[in-house]
């Protein structure tokens, strides 16, 4: 088995992927992985794995998720840091993080890496609600009551983080209310400076 890395290298590239719940982060990220060789870390999925592993924090995380609340940053940042250390890659897209100012500060203090840029999927509230209600993945938080709470948290806590990065000239905003392929065309332009992955046809 591969030894886990102890340090996250200075050459590590981190891109944060933000946008309201249902804006298409989880749909677009695998395409970025495929085309540009990044590793996708989804904060919400790492937290869900903690719930399913019945770890000591599992019940607490489940209750936060059900209420659409942001889990204490120490927990989420530790999960992200572990995933980065266990990876052989040095390019990461981190989806659904930082969700609030506390998340942002904790990542900077603990992981000590600033994002290369923030990919922001901009999408109107009605479309977010429509997509979440149609998502149909059995999520405990994809119901009309929790959606209202999640949208409130997004507008009150996450948008200020996006505005913070925007004031530093780090936000790449994309109109997410279009087809998956149209959105990805814009994503590709934003990632153009990272060389596309060259696929070798093994049948030849
Ligand atoms: P997020 O990870 O930002 O919460 P998802 O990628 O899970 O969002 O997308 C939420 C739902 O909307 C999913 O059912 C997905 O298939 C759908 N979806 C994603 N992108 C689009 C799009 N551009 N147009 C229409 N539906 C979309
Ligand atoms: O990103 P996603 O919609 O999958 O996140 C689901 C839930 O996970 C959030 O509503 C929140 O309860 C929790 N979460 C969090 N902190 C993050 C990301 C997700 O607490 N940075
Ligand atoms: Mg998602």
CA distance linking residue 105 with residue 103, whole number of Å: 6
pLDDT per residue as tens digits for the range 11-47: 999 999 999 999 999 999 999 999 999 999 999 999 9
For ligand 1, atom 20, the nearest C-alpha belongs to 24
pLDDT per residue as tens digits for the range 145-185: 999 999 999 999 999 999 999 999 999 999 999 999 999 99
Closest ligand 1 atom number to CA of residue 44: 2
**Nearest by Cα to 91 from 137, 134, 176, 32:** 32
Give the distance (Å) from ligand 3 centre to CA of residue 123. Answer: 14
Closest ligand 2 atom number to CA of residue 97: 21
pLDDT per residue as tens digits for the range 68-83: 999 999 999 999 999 9
Which residues in the chain belong to E strands, given as ranges?
A: 13-19, 39-42, 91-95, 117-122, 171-175
**Nearest by Cα to 73 from 88, 61, 85:** 61
Whose tokens are 């990805």? That residue is 184
Q: Is the C-beta atom of 177 inside 6 A of ligand 1?
A: no
Q: What residues does 122 pair with on adjacent strands?
A: 175
Q: Is the C-beta atom of 23 inside 6 A of ligand 1?
A: yes
**Taking the model in full, what pTM does it have?**
0.95
Confidence of residue 56 (pLDDT cuts 50, 70, 90): very high
Confidence of residue 196 (pLDDT cuts 50, 70, 90): confident
Which ligand has the minimum distance to the alpha carbon of residue 102?
A: 2
Length of the chain (residues): 204
Q: Hey, what domains does the chain have and what are their CATH numbers?
A: 22-190 (3.40.50.300)
């Amino acid at each position: 088995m591969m030894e886990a890395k102890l340090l996250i290298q200075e050459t590590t590239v981190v891109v944060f992927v933000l946008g309201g719940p249902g804006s298409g982060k989880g749909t677009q990220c695998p395409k970025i992985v495929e085309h540009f060789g990044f590793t996708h870390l989804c904060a919400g999925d790492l937290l869900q794995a903690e719930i399913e592993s019945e770890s000591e924090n599992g019940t607490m995380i489940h209750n936060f998720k059900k209420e659409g609340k942001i889990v204490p940053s120490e927990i989420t940042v530790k999960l992200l840091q572990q995933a980065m250390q266990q990876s052989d890659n040095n390019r990461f897209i981190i989806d659904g993080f930082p969700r609030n100012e506390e998340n942002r500060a904790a990542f900077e203090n603990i992981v000590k890496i600033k994002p290369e840029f923030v990919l922001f999927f901009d999408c109107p509230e009605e479309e977010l609600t429509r997509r979440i209600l149609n998502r149909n993945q059995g999520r405990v938080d994809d119901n009309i009551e929790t959606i209202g709470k999640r949208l409130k948290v997004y507008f009150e806590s996450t948008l200020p983080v996006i505005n913070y990065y925007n004031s530093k000239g780090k936000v790449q905003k994309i109109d997410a209310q279009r087809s998956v392929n149209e959105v990805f065309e814009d994503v590709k332009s934003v990632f153009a400076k990272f060389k596309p992955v060259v696929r070798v046809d093994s049948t030849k």
